[in-house]
């Protein structure tokens, strides 16, 4: 099962596990990290992004690096700006703005986030970083 942190467009955050997430589907199921008996159906249209993480706690003292030379995954160097002002730096081989979303791989090798499925409907801009 994948450990995920779901960021919704309304600012809410949910943490849990999923085994049926697919970029080709409009929904998936989230089993709560706090209450394994609680399973919720999540609609992609309500989301900002899905963060696939190593653990649910992260390191709040860690400052993400934006040095693309440290990236674990090759691809276009991008900065994704969301409507709420957050900016993510990462790499991606497949930026499809007309699809539901695309995967971004953080540049920081020490980040808790392994990859992010970015939902296009909450993206303000995607910029190539030289």
Task: Name the band, by pLDDT with cuts 50, 70 and 90, for residue 67.
Answer: confident
Q: What average pLDDT score do residues 28-34 get?
A: 95
Residues 6+ apart with CB under 8 A from 129: 68, 77, 78, 79, 89
Segment 96-129, tens digit of pLDDT:
888 999 999 999 988 999 999 999 999 999 999 9
Q: What average pLDDT score do residues 4-27 get?
A: 96
Task: Name the band, by pLDDT with cuts 50, 70 and 90, for residue 66.
Answer: confident
Domain count, the chain: 1
Strand segments, DSSP code E, in 1-83 are: 2-8, 13-18, 27-32, 39-43, 47-53, 76-82
**pTM summary value:** 0.94
Beta bridge partners of 32: 16
Mean pLDDT over each residue of the chain, to the nearest integer: 93
Q: 94 lies in which domain range? A: 2-128
pLDDT of residue 114: 95
């Amino acid at each position: 099962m994948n450990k995920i942190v779901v960021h919704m467009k309304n600012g809410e955050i949910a943490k849990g596990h999923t085994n049926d997430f697919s970029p080709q589907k409009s929904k998936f199921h989230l089993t709560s990290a706090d209450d394994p008996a609680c399973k919720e159906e999540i609609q992609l249209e309500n989301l900002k992004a899905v963060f696939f993480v190593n653990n649910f706690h992260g390191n709040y003292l860690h400052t993400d690096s934006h040095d693309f030379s440290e990236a674990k995954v090759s691809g276009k160097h991008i900065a994704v700006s969301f409507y709420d002002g957050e900016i993510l730096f990462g790499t991606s081989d497949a930026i499809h703005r007309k699809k539901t979303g695309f995967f971004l791989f953080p540049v920081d090798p020490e980040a808790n986030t392994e990859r992010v499925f970015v939902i296009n409907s909450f993206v303000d801009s995607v910029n190539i970083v030289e």
